[in-house]
Structures are given as C-alpha cells and as structure tokens.
C-alpha cells in the first residue's frame, strides 16, 4: 500500500465530473487500499478518487474514532435527504481552512461496494455530512463553492501563497 | 473530507480531569486549546473554569443523578460535570449542551457511555430543581471547597468566612497597571473610552484601572507598546508600601513573573533592582515583561533562602519578599488551587516563608524596609509568620501600614478577596535603631 499525493485547490482535476467505475479488478482493489491509507494518514474521514488524480466515481470514508468502520462508495447516488443544518466543514484539498455550510443531517445512500455489489445505507450527522462532501467531489464540486465569492477569493489567495511558499 | 472539528466538550472534560489528577488548570488548558480558534478556546475555557470552580457541588449533583457511581472513569465523570455546568450556569442552548456533551463520549473513546450521559443530563433537565434543593446545605458542598479549607477560613475569618469563600467563586476583574513612565492613569482611561472599552480607576491603587469586562490583553490599546500591564490591584499595593526612593538598591526575592519589580521600576527612577527567582524558566518571564516595558534589572536564578550562594555582601535598601504561598487569596483567578492544595501544604509553606524571612533579614541595610507579602487567606501564612519573625528578631520592628484598604491584624494588614482585590497579606519591617545585627 502507499500514501498518494492529494491534489490541492485550485487544481483543475478537482473540477471534473468523474465517470462511473465499470471494472472491479485488481487495480481497483489496490487503488481502494491506497486511498484508505492516504485518508488515514492525512488525517481525514473521507477521500474521493479525483483528489488523488484518478478520474473514477469512487470514494472511501471512515467516520469512526477507532478507524474500524471503513466504507467504500462506488457510483454513489443520494436517494433521500432531510433535515438541513449548518455544520463546520474542512477538505483535504483545501488545507487548514474550515467554514460553516448547510448540509442535510439525514440521508439515504445507494452505491456499490468494492466488489460491485449494490447496497443502501441510511446515515446521519457526521457520516451524512461526509457522504455529501465526497459525492460533491465526484461531481467536480468543493464545499467552498457554497461560501460567498468574497470568502472563496480569500481562500484561493491564501492557498496560492501557501503553494508558492511551499515551493 | 478533513477530520471534523474537535469536540470542545471532550476537550474541556480532559482539561478538568487533568486538574483533578494534579495538573494546573493553565497547563491543562494550554494542552487542549493549542489548535483552536479564539471563539472555541473561549467556550472551552469557560466550561473548564466553571466546572473546576464548582467541582464539588457538581460532583455531588452527579452522584444524585447516577444509578451507581462511576469507578475509574475520571474523564467520563468530568464530561458529566461539564454537561451539568452548561445546563446550570451557562448561556448555551440546552439541546446543544446535551447533544454536544453526548457526542463527546465517543470522542473520549467511550462510545458506550453516550446513553449514560444522555440519561443523566435529561434527568437533570426534568428533576434538576428538586435535586438541587436536596443537596447538603453545607458551605463545603454549596460553595465547592474542600472541608479542610472551609475549616481554616472559618477559623481565620470568623465573621466573614462565607463572603470570603463566596468571593473565591466570582471571577476577578481584569485589572491593568498603567505605566507611569508612559502616561497618566487619566489618559489611559481616556484611551480605553475612545476604544469603546468600559473601565474605571481603582480607588486605593493609584495606577490601577479595572475593566468592566475581560478582553484579550493583546487587543488593548497600549499593551504591546508597554503602556499597560495586567496586575491585580492588591498586588499593585506593594510598590507604594515599599517606599523605595530614587537610586536605591532593591531586592525582589521571589520575582517571577515580575509584575511587582516592573511596577517599582516604572515608579521610581534609577533603582538598582535585583530580581531573583529560584526557577530559571519563570525568570525568563520576568525578562520578557521587563523587555516589553523597556525596564532594566539584574536577573538571577537563585534560591533566596541561601544568600551565601549569591549575595555580594552589599546591603539592600529595600527588600520585597513576595513569598511562595498556598495562593488561597487568588482562588477566584485560579480555581484549581481549591483541589491542588492539601492541608499539609500550609505548615510546609509557613516554614518556607519563615526560612526566607530569616535568610533575607541580614541583607537589609540599617535604614532599610522589608515588605513581606503573600496571596494567602490564612493567618498561618500571614500574621503568624510575621509575628513569629518579630518575636525571634530583636533587631526587627514593625513599620505599621496605615491604609484605607483591608484590615489591620496584630501584625501587618490583610485584604479579603472580592471586587477590585485579590486576597492578600502585607507586613512591613525595619531595623530597630541601635540594635546590632542578628
Ligand atoms: Zn474534500
């Protein structure tokens, strides 16, 4: 397994809608394992494939404190959403920044597991928030898109400065 | 997605549990607030201070809410108290107080306790008033102090012990010391008023300005420029009491963090001041303070009780001995003192204070003044130390303190905590004319 580099905003590869996964082969299994390792090392609770430069509709998640509830979402869709609330959010591709946005507190997810088997899942709280965040990634969206243009501009400048300083 | 924001209630519980296991509240909070925004840190601190301040009351209340006591679960116990404190005494929406505190259980690695925390807090919401009425009526529980400290304060303040204990539960005001070298108190007040900060002069401390509401000191006009410092009004009394004159040689024997030394240097020209502290780390804070104020003093990390190791033999005109003590006079600022001190600390402290006085006395010149100070409530660390010193030193006499603050004792003067003042004790000594050294 390997920790993969995570792309940072404003990388254009974060802005493409990802195509569905069709082949459930060895390469896909290796990619999923690497994505988990990358996510745990970040540390984060979710990671989408296009954040590590792979254009596939695939994300991994684990919202548990003990790192013992890994979840693979392939070709995910939301089939129900409810109870919008304001929550604080951050993204591994927008480092060191957090802000409040609105997310559904309850939802039902339909997706495929790592073997291509379909499942449905109801989630609330942090897990529901994370599912929405990762599906946004797979649609080429970032949580900062929900912020005011003024805030977005400030974030873009800050990250550009950090990128220059970091070489 | 990045990790969710840290659960503030879980962190507050860790800070409280740290204090109950012997760490200072300052250290415990520093560890928990390092990575937080200012607003998050402020909420965490408010919870932790409140719980430490009322720990015994909250613990008794939790005991009446639990089916059976929690064993070996100090962090979970602290979390329950944090939840109760939010419901009882804080401006937090009750559903947030309950919801966030329940959510903190998994963050403490105890997901199994969510139901328990939820049940206890909801029961308090339903039955809280009756349970509060059913608590023991003793001052130790109602005002949250250890039994030994209640007994000691009762014995030493027979007429006002209840007010003294209650004052320890009221957070003290933020009090500033105006740097006379950089301006008058009136101009500082005007500057604060212009910045929209409500403040007033403290009557009996000529350089003290008290803010109506606490603020981060860095935000105050003139702090970084050294025009103001933070110091309680009681501590500001020392500079006048020492009666230092320009050019005199002054020893500040237990100097850190250096507030009193800085005040003396601000007030009196050309002092040759030696600031001593046994702790080199703490002495660095004296250095930082003096640098910010652009003041000069000799700094020495040394044990004041062993002058033979550092004294050059030249007598001092003034000696300030702000002796290590129980800190029971500043409980309103440091509520952890209630639980960190032990009854057995008091005689140990008194012995150390006596030893410091005896050791420093020979360093005082014939016309000199020695000011003894502690921020203790207890006679054992104030009046009794001073009286015993006088009784055993024929060449020492008391220089009585006439003042509008506090009350005179058989020796020295003490001031009760409350309002503008921390609890303090001062006694002043000079050499008996004609007597030879001891
Ligand atoms: Zn993200």
What pLDDT, in 10s, does the model give residues B117-151?
Answer: 999 999 999 999 999 999 999 999 999 999 999 99
Distances in Å between the Cα of B168 and the Cα atoms of B79, B93, B171, B323, B346 are: 23, 27, 7, 21, 18
Distances in Å between the Cα of B352 and the Cα atoms of B304, B325, B377, B380, B431 are: 11, 9, 17, 12, 22
Range(s) within chain B of domains with CATH label 3.40.50.150: 234-431
Query: What is the per-residue pLDDT across B306-351, written as a single tens digit (0 to 9) for each?
Result: 999 999 999 999 999 999 999 999 999 999 999 999 999 999 999 9
Q: Is the pLDDT of residue A70 over 90?
A: yes
Q: How far is the CA of A13 from the centre of ligand 1 (A)?
A: 13
Asked if the C-beta of B5 comes within 8 angstroms of chain A's C-beta atoms, the answer is yes
What is the Cα B30 distance to its own chain's centre?
17
What range does the domain containing A117 cover?
A: 12-166
Please report, rounded to a whole number, the percentage of residues in chain A having pLDDT higher than 90: 78
B106 to chain A: which residues are within 8 Å by CB? 65
Measure in Å the smallest separation between the Cα of A45 and chain B Cα atoms: 5
Measure in Å the smallest separation between the Cα of B5 and chain A Cα atoms: 7
Average pLDDT, chain B: 94
Asked if the C-beta of B196 comes within 8 angstroms of chain A's C-beta atoms, the answer is no
Question: Do B426 and B372 contact (CB within 8 A), yes or no?
Answer: yes
Residue B35 pLDDT: 66
Measure in Å the smallest separation between the Cα of B9 and chain A Cα atoms: 16
Compare all CA atoms of chain A with the CA of B104 and give the residue at the minimum distance: A65
Question: Is A58 contained in some domain?
Answer: yes
Residue B435 pLDDT: 62
- Domain B8-135: top CATH class: mainly alpha
Long-range contacts, B269-274 (Cβ 8 Å, 24+): B270/B246, B271/B244, B271/B246, B271/B247, B271/B297, B272/B247, B272/B248, B272/B298, B273/B249, B273/B297, B273/B298, B274/B249, B274/B250, B274/B298, B274/B300, B274/B316
Chosen for mutation from A71, A124, A126, A132 (greatest number of chain B CBs closer than 10 Å) is A126
- Domain B234-431: top CATH class: alpha beta
Q: How confident is the model at residue B294 (pLDDT cuts 50, 70, 90)?
A: very high
SS (H, E, C) chain B: CECCCCCHHHHHHHHHHHHHCCCCHHHHHHHHHCCCCHHHHHHHHHHHHHHHHCHHHHHHHHHHHCCCCCCCCHHHHHHHHHHHHHHHHCCCCHHHHHHHHHHHHHHCCCHHHHHHHHHHHHHHHHHHHHHHHCCCCCHHHHCCCCHHHHHHHHHHCCCCHHHHHHHCCCCCCCEEEECCCCCCHHHHHHHHHHCCCCEEECCCCCCEEEECCCCCHHHCCCCCCCCEEECCHHHHHHHHHCCCCCCCEEEECCCCCCHHHHHHHHHCCCCEEEEEECCHHHHHHHHHHHHHHCCCCEEEECCCCCHHHCCCCCCEEEEEEECCCCCHHHCCCCCCHHHHCCCCHHHHHHHHHHHHHHHHHHHEEEEEEEEEEECCCCHHHCHHHHHHHHHHCCCEEECCCCCCCCEECCCCEEECCECCECCEEEEEEEECCCCCCC
Q: Which among B214, B235, B217 has a CA at the least distance from the CA of B227? A: B217
Phi-psi region of B222 (alpha: psi -120 to 50; beta: other; left: phi over 0): left
Q: How far is the CA of A18 from the centre of ligand 1 (A)?
A: 15
What is the dotted CATH code of the domain comprising B175-230? Answer: 3.30.70.1170
Catalytic positions of B, please? 375
Range(s) within chain B of domains with CATH label 3.30.70.1170: 175-230
Q: How confident is the model at residue A166 (pLDDT cuts 50, 70, 90)?
A: low
Residue B438 pLDDT: 47
CB-based contact A90 B2, cutoff 8 Å: yes
CB-based contact B106 A65, cutoff 8 Å: yes
CB-based contact B2 A45, cutoff 8 Å: yes
A66 is catalytic: no
Residue B242 pLDDT: 97
Q: Is the pLDDT of residue B101 over 80?
A: yes
**Greater confidence, B149 or B32?**
B149
**Distance (Å, whole) CA B65 – CA B123:** 7
Residue A156 pLDDT: 86
Residue B38 pLDDT: 77
Q: Mean of the pLDDT values across residues B346-367? A: 98
Asked if the C-beta of B178 comes within 8 angstroms of chain A's C-beta atoms, the answer is no
Q: Mean of the pLDDT values across residues B207-227? A: 89
Compare CB distances from B1 to A45, A65, A66 and report the shortest one's residue.
A45
Q: Is the pLDDT of residue A7 over 90?
A: yes
Range(s) within chain B of domains with CATH label 1.10.940.10: 8-135
Task: Kindly provide the ipTM of the predicted complex, given to two decimals.
Answer: 0.88
A99 to chain B: which residues are within 8 Å by CB? none
Q: How many domains does chain A have?
A: 1
CB-based contact A90 B106, cutoff 8 Å: no
Q: How far is the CA of A47 from the centre of ligand 1 (A)?
A: 7
Q: Mean of the pLDDT values across residues B23-40? A: 86
**Greater confidence, B263 or A64?**
B263
Q: Mean of the pLDDT values across residues B175-182? A: 95
Q: Mean of the pLDDT values across residues B59-86? A: 94
Q: By a Cβ cutoff of 8 Å, what residues of chain A touch chain B?
A: 42-47, 61, 63, 65-66, 88-92, 95, 98, 126, 129-130, 133-134
Asked if the C-beta of B3 comes within 8 angstroms of chain A's C-beta atoms, the answer is yes
Question: Is A7 contained in some domain?
Answer: no
Q: How confident is the model at residue B436 (pLDDT cuts 50, 70, 90)?
A: low
CB-based contact A130 B107, cutoff 8 Å: no
Spatial strand order in the sheet of A118-124: A46-48, A58-61, A71-91, A94-112, A118-124
Which CATH number characterizes residue A109's domain? 3.90.45.10
CB-based contact A98 B5, cutoff 8 Å: yes
Compare CB distances from B1 to A46, A66, A95 and report the shortest one's residue.
A46
Q: Mean of the pLDDT values across residues B186-213? A: 94
pTM above 0.90, yes or no: no
Q: How confident is the model at residue B116 (pLDDT cuts 50, 70, 90)?
A: very high
Query: What is the per-residue pLDDT across A113-136, written as a single tens digit (0 to 9) for each?
Result: 999 999 999 999 899 999 999 999
B5 to chain A: which residues are within 8 Å by CB? 88, 90, 98
Q: Which of B64-68, B265-269, B316-320 has the lowest mean pLDDT?
A: B64-68
Q: Is the pLDDT of residue A167 over 70?
A: no
CB-based contact B2 A126, cutoff 8 Å: no
Q: Is the pLDDT of residue B34 over 80?
A: no
**Distance (Å, whole) CA B386 – CA B429:** 9
């Amino acid at each position: 397994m390997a920790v993969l580099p995570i792309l940072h905003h404003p990388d254009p590869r974060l802005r493409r809608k990802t195509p569905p996964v069709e082949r459930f082969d060895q390469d896909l299994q290796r990619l999923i394992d690497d994505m988990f390792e990358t996510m745990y090392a970040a540390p984060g609770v979710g990671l989408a494939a296009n954040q590590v430069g792979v254009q596939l509709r695939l994300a991994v998640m684990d919202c548990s404190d003990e790192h013992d509830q890994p979840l693979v979402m392939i070709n995910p869709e939301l089939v129900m959403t409810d109870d919008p609330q304001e929550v604080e959010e951050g993204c591994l591709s927008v480092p060191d920044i957090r802000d409040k946005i609105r997310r559904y507190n309850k939802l039902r997810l339909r997706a495929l597991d790592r073997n291509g088997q379909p499942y449905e899942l109801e989630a609330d709280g942090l897990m529901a928030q994370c599912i929405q965040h990762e599906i946004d990634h797979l649609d080429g969206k970032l949580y900062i898109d929900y912020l005011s243009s003024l805030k977005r501009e400030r974030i873009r400048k800050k990250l550009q400065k950090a990128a220059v300083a970091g070489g | 997605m990045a990790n969710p924001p840290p659960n503030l209630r879980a962190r507050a519980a860790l800070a409280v549990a740290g204090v109950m296991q012997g760490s200072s509240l300052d250290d415990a909070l520093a560890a928990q607030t390092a990575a937080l925004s200012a607003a998050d840190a402020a909420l965490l601190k408010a919870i932790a201070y409140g719980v430490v301040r009322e720990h015994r009351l909250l613990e008794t209340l939790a005991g009446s809410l639990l089916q059976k006591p929690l064993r070996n679960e100090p962090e979970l116990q602290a979390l329950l108290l944090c939840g109760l404190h939010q419901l009882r005494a804080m401006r937090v929406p009750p559903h947030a107080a309950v919801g966030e505190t329940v959510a903190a259980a998994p963050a403490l690695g105890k997901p199994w306790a969510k139901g328990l925390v939820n049940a206890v807090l909801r029961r308090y919401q339903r039955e809280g008033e009756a349970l509060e009425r059913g608590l023991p009526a003793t001052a130790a529980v109602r005002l949250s102090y250890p039994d030994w400290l209640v007994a000691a304060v009762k014995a030493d303040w027979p007429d006002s012990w209840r007010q003294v204990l209650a004052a320890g539960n009221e957070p003290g005001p933020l009090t500033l010391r105006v740097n006379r070298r950089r301006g008058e108190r009136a101009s500082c007040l005007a500057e604060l008023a212009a910045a929209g900060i409500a403040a007033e002069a403290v009557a009996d401390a000529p350089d003290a300005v008290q803010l109506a509401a606490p603020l981060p000191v860095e935000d105050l006009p003139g702090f970084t420029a050294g025009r103001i410092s933070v110091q309680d009004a009681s501590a500001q009394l020392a500079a006048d009491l020492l009666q230092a004159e320009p050019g005199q040689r002054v020893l500040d024997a237990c100097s850190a963090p250096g507030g009193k030394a800085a005040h003396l240097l601000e007030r009196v020209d050309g002092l040759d001041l030696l600031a001593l502290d046994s702790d080199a780390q703490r002495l660095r804070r004296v250095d930082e303070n003096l640098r910010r104020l652009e003041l000069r003093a000799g700094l020495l990390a040394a044990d004041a009780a062993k002058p033979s190791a550092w004294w050059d033999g030249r007598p001092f005109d003034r000696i300030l001995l702000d002796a290590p003590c129980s800190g029971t006079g500043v409980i309103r600022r440091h509520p952890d003192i209630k639980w960190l001190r032990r009854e057995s600390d008091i005689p140990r402290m008194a012995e150390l204070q006596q030893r410091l006085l005896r050791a420093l006395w020979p360093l005082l010149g014939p016309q000199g003044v020695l000011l003894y100070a502690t921020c203790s409530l207890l006679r054992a660390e104030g009046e009794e130390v001073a009286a015993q010193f006088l009784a055993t030193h024929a060449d020492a006499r008391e220089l009585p303190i006439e003042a509008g603050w506090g009350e005179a004792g058989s020796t020295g003067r003490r001031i009760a905590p409350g309002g503008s003042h921390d609890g303090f004790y001062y006694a002043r000594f000079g050499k008996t004319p004609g007597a030879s050294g001891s």
